[in-house]
Amino acid sequence: MGLKVIGTGLGRTGTKSLQTALGMLGFGPCHHMVEVFQHPESMPLWIDAARGHPDWDLIFREYLAAVDYPTAAYWRELTDYYPRAKVIHTVRDADQWFDSVHATIFAPESLARRVDEDDRTRFFAGILKRVPGELDDRTVMTEFFQAHTRDVIATIAPERLLVYRAGEGWGPLCRFLGVEPPSAPFPSENSRVEFIDRVRALQSMSGNPGDADH
């Protein structure tokens, strides 16, 4: 199908809510980290992408949009590969973002930081290659977060880009995409508590440490 919307915002910037919102606006299915865990057979494709051999058409063959990790880790490649796709960059306060990712995606006990020899670990290794190694250092990580936004703004043509902050609602998003806002409220999903509860549920089912989605 080819992606029509690419989200360049890092995980924990409202990406799960954006995934749902895009689906409500007709830009679904929308890829998100949760899709990788629901379809673990896709992990080898992402591992190949990390090794420099991506098959984007195969990875996104069933999707019209993509947000969150792992998409955000490959934003340069994807925005080049899909030059007609509109780009939505979700942002939030950098310190709040650090607090959230350090309690969820990159928590010390998270799957992303597990050292093992399986597809999940190889999959996360591809993402971590594009993130500073000092995951526990607030200064390093917040500077990385802010630099990421500067890079996106400097790279993507202004008419193709929407910088979007969670809480802005339907207005900016619908104007940017050229669609009418729905009557339903803008979705609000995957709070930190919800994320942690989901991780615990996954751990209780699998008996393995890790994180489910973000």
Query: Tell me, what's the pLDDT at 46?
Result: 98
Measured distance CA(84)–CA(28) in Å, rounded = 17
Dihedral over Cα of 99, 100, 103, 107: its sign? negative
> With contact defined as beta carbons under 8 Å apart, do 210 and 202 qualify?
yes
Tens digits of residue pLDDT in 75-104: 999 999 999 999 999 999 999 999 999 999
Measured distance CA(45)–CA(53) in Å, rounded = 9
Could you tell me which of 52, 66, 44 has the C-alpha nearest to residue 123? 44
Domain ranges of the chain: 5-206
> With contact defined as beta carbons under 8 Å apart, do 97 and 151 qualify?
no
Residue recorded with tokens 């069933």: 62
Average pLDDT per block of 10 residues along the chain, 214 residues long: 94 96 97 93 97 97 97 98 98 96 90 82 94 97 98 98 95 98 88 48 42 32
**209 upstream amide cis, omega within 30 of 0:** no
Fold assignment, 5-206:
Rossmann fold (3.40.50)
Global pTM?
A: 0.88
